[in-house]
Structure 1
């Protein structure tokens, strides 16, 4: 696993994860069909933000979430109970996903925004394979951070984004892992691999959505600030300058937001 988690485990970050999942829900889940899946394995279930959406869209599912950080598991149960979901259908297990030991067998697996944070993502894809039934559907959604672009270009945003991604690499993560999903799934022996590019290309035609996504992305970038400042990689002034630039672009009529992630579907 990565030695550090770039976003941290503060309560404000736990809440951001829930809000983030809602903002980008359609871009991810409109292309997923787990209607024929009954037992779903969710790797890196975190605070249950994606679990909540899975249960909302596929209420028949029985979900087992695997999470490395016990603080996130505690928050996940609270989040699901708070929003009225039946936690009898959900189990969160504290395990290292590179060394899974699970009693159940699953006919589907879901991974979202997880492989970017670990030192050996290939090991996760390999480790979960024996837990899956033959023909099980696997859906993996991951970042491709070099695609991030805003117009007009603001140096304070691009400089911060480079420091953010370089730091993620330095702690064992991979901000470009999405581009590698096809090869990784193939190396792990999965079949029927399909890739698609999802994300945002927002301009004045979708002004409200553009404002919402600029705010969401500013918060995502800001979530790494405590670790970046602790490592003396950035100053508080530089964080504030980045945030102000994102706010200005959010309100600028002719501004553009562009970002692509990669979603892979495969089968055991």
Structure 2
């Protein structure tokens, strides 16, 4: 896609945001990857590879893999190549292709596919699932991890956070995304012709029993939702004061011994 036709992306492409993606991937690594097994795959197709944050974890956990990352934003590909070089992964292990995932043109078939935090940003995500199917071998495993933002809950409930969260999610819908796409993965895969579909709910339910992890996750979540602030601000949907109040409330919860953090994402596994 050219720069003029690139759809809006709630998190933006600033360098600070590119680093956040890597840090976020590491914080949430175990809840996602402890339930993914690509040990039988050799060539993996990653859709929406971004800055390579998930690619790096995949190669660390499954060093035998050869990964092709498809990404439509050239700035993310440049950063991904830089990140892979820093991590010591060569071009024999990973390559990145600048394409629109709804209209893939690949020169090989893969025996696995991976999508993580991508379909939430794409209008009509079923088009991606249909587009990649011809490039997957019979029996190939597909693993998809996606958001289910309606599940976010804190105790105590902080209006400054929940009001911001509502605006954040409504904006994502406005620009063509779907903050609840995780809940729909079963139907999307079924309609796209995949088989043996299974779904699981993963995520966090943290309280006073896990103070360190809870503090880490509150910090991660604060950075995640704050990454949407520049876009919301530029669209006139939110004020600086509302952002400051949200950040302050997140820090208050982070430092509160009896606070609770709850959020679920959805993971789907399916086969071609």
RMSD: 0.9
Are positions 1:137 and 2:138 aligned together?
no
Whether contact under 8 Å (1:2, 1:118) holds in the other structure is: no
User: Which 4+ stretches in 1 moved above 6 angstroms?
Assistant: none
In the alignment, the residues of structure 1 paired with residue 57 and residue 91 of structure 2 have an alpha-carbon distance, to the nearest angstrom, of 14
| Count of residue pairs the alignment pairs up | 268
Match of 1:219 among 209, 220, 223: 223
Choose which of 56, 66, 71 in structure 2 pairs with 1:62: 66
Q: CA contact under 8 A between 1:2 and 1:173: conserved in structure 2? A: no
| Closer/same/farther in 2, CA of residues 264 and 2 from structure 1, 3 Å limit | farther
Partner of 2:7: 3
Q: Does 1:95 align with 2:105?
A: no
TM-score, normalised to structure 1, is 0.99
Alignment match, 1:263:
267
Q: For residue 233 of structure 2, what is the aligned residue in structure 1?
A: 229
Gaps of 5+ in 1: none
Partner of 2:153: 149
Distance (Å, rounded) in 2 between the aligned partners of 1:180 and 1:11: 32
- 2:124 alignment counterpart: 120
Matched-pair contact (CA < 8 Å) for 1:2–1:171: no
Counterparts of 2:209 and 2:45, CA distance in 1: 38
Aligned to 1:77: 81
SS in 1 for 2:143: strand
SS in structure 2 opposite 1:102? coil
Q: Which residue matches 1:189?
A: 193
CA shift, 1:3, in A, is: 2.3
CA distance in 1, matches of 2:210, 2:91: 37
Per-residue displacement from partner, 1:236-263 (whole Å, max 9, x unpaired)? 1111110010011001000000000000
Q: CA deviation at 1:104?
A: 1.4
Residue 29, structure 1, aligned to residue 13, structure 2: no
Structure 2 residue aligned with 1:245:
249
Equivalence for 2:17? 13
Match of 1:111 in 2: 115
The verdict on how the C-alpha distance between 1:263 and 1:2 changes in structure 2, with shifts beyond 3 A counting, is farther
User: Does residue 42 of structure 2 align to residue 38 of structure 1?
Assistant: yes
Offset, 1:2: 7.6
Residues 165 and 125 (structure 1 numbering): CA distance in 2 closer, same or farther, change over 3 Å?
same
